[in-house]
Structure 1
Amino acid sequence: MALFTSFKLASIAAGSRFVQDETRLRKERVKQRDGMRIAILDNERDQLRLVTHTATGLGHECHEYMDGALLLQAVEAQRFDLLILHWRLPGIDSPALVKALRRAAGNHLPILFTTHRADAADMAMSLHAGADDFMISPISGAELEARICGLQRRSEPAPHEPQLAFGPYQFLPAWRTVKLNGVRVELRSREYDLALFLFQNTGRLLSREQLYQAIWGADFRALSRSLDTHLSRVRAKLDLRPANGFLLAALRGFGYRLETVSAQEDVQTGPGPISQERPMKANSATTKSYTFVHAPEREMGCGALVRRATLDLKDI
């Protein structure tokens, strides 16, 4: 009897070690893929804690919300890799919220819905609204873990995923993500669009009107400060400087140019936001002269003028 008891205890201990090892290996595999930033929306704190506990245990970073409007603001301002939302919350039109989230973050962002009811109509409505998966409460940690891992695998770019490389910068269109020397850079949606447009037009002088139309498609007069703010953030976040092979140059009164430069060039970017209003000093050692022609009014919204302009890279 004692021998049987010892054997049983040893088997239980071995099984426990096996489960612990499997959990540890699974977490290591998740971390090797890079943890996701997950936003969770629910009006029940117990449910929030369960989801957060499960996801953080897998190496992910979680942000909890109990208000749909606050979640939407966060998605507009930050990058998330997965949204986990409760389908029926008081005072929230879930289909409308999903559509707003899709407009803010694009169709690439996975959305997982949870609900207390096994209602086929709810499931169909959520999937039709744009959800990627659906879970019915009570939710077990193991099932939630499987769903999160599945959505992470689906959202990862395939090995043959088209990528755009510009020196040390790598753009992944499917993820709307930029990497600098292999490290992911946190960009908002507009910042990503602006960065990609600049890199796709490297060496080309872009008017402010062209940038407004390409990124916002709106009346540029109402967005003057917004453009300067976005450009300043893009320059800072992507570390656009000679050491990385690129420099964002501003031409006062006209627009901007993303230039390829050598790390050996004695060129420095000045601190502070980019603005066409900043004065430009003349310095023979760091000044380049450009002649540019405004396109016809029907193309760019300005007169056909030829100007000689001096661009001082030290003041950009």
Structure 2
Amino acid sequence: MHIGLAEDDPEQLALLSLWLTDAQHTVQGYGTRADFIAALGKERFDLLLVDWMLPDGTGADVLQWTRTNLGWELPILVLTVRDDEQTVVIALQAGADDYVVKPAKPLELLARVAALGRRVQRGALPVLRLGAFEIDIQRQRLALDGEPVAMTQKEFDLSVYLFQNPGKLLSRDHLLNKIWGLNTEVDTRTVDTHISRLRKKLGLDGSKGWKLVPVYGVGYRFERSTESL
């Protein structure tokens, strides 16, 4: 799994990272609440490991931001030096899935991480693979010929929807409602702008096996190409 770790003690951060990488996980560590939340807005993790006390805030702050902005599917394990009932209850009520009392014991920590990981796998979203394209919906990453493509959130969401609906005629209004929502204040020109960007970023002119075909007065059809342009 790809794990985000918030721990302000450099020695603890290094030790926890070592245990996790030895268990075949990848780890990105952060020493402050601000840095961690900034990373959560950009990078997709399979699990979060959060120290309850951070120099510029608490684990509760991280939990509140995560649950508000990323939902309740992402597993969160809290590290705390306090094992009193009140602290544990507060952590769980704030959105933690489990907790480990510091100093953490390596086997216990890894067992709890593995248990939460099994939940991720049971609820994991599929990886779409179509020719040169691979879309990891869970981590929200799109790769072309094995290389990740930098995309905005709406570009990614639109890409996923197109790849999930090949061959279908999709109107601009339909795409606008599906990707931006029914109550959006943007207009259909936004759809055209994003479609244009995706054509350039993903080579959707047929050269990579897929193309976005405009349907005059209606919208677009995403279809397989039989020729390279």
Q: How does 1:226-305 map to 2 (within 5 A)?
A: 228=194, 232=198, 236=202, 240=204, 242=206, 245-249=209-213, 257-262=220-225, 264-266=226-228, 268=229
Residue 160 of structure 2: which of 180, 196, 205 is its match?
196
Q: Distance in 2 between matches of 1:230 and 1:242?
A: 14
Change (3 A) 1:234 1:80: farther
Q: Deviation digits for residues 110-130 of structure 1, max 9, x if unmatched? A: 111101111212211222222
SS at match of 2:169: coil
Task: Flag the structure with more relative contact order, 1 or 2, with Cα contacts below 8 A and sequence separation at least 6.
Answer: 2
8 A contact 1:166–1:199 mirrored in 2: no
* Match in the other structure for 1:142: 107
Normalising by the residue count of structure 2, what TM-score does the alignment of the two structures yield?
Answer: 0.74
* Match in the other structure for 1:89: 54
Q: Distance in 1 between matches of 2:89 and 2:23?
A: 29
* Match in the other structure for 2:93: 128
8 A contact 2:4–2:45 mirrored in 1: yes
Change (3 A) 1:80 1:109: same
Q: How does 1:18-29 map to 2 (within 5 A)?
A: none
Q: Distance in 2 between matches of 1:106 and 1:189?
A: 15
Letter in 2 for 1:99: Q
**Based on CA coordinates, which of the two structures has the bigger radius of gyration?**
1
Q: Which structure 1 segments of 5+ residues have no match?
A: 1-35, 269-316
Q: Distance in 1 between matches of 2:73 and 2:81?
A: 26
Change (3 A) 1:204 1:211: same
Q: Which structure 2 segments of 5+ residues have no match?
A: none
Query: Quick check: which one's strand share is greater?
Result: 2
Change (3 A) 1:190 1:94: farther
Q: Deviation digits for residues 216-245 of structure 1, max 9, x if unmatched? A: 333216x959x6399539953xx7564765
Question: How far off its partner does 1:135 sit?
Answer: 0.5
Q: Distance in 2 between matches of 1:166 and 1:73?
A: 30
CA RMSD of aligned residues (A): 4.0
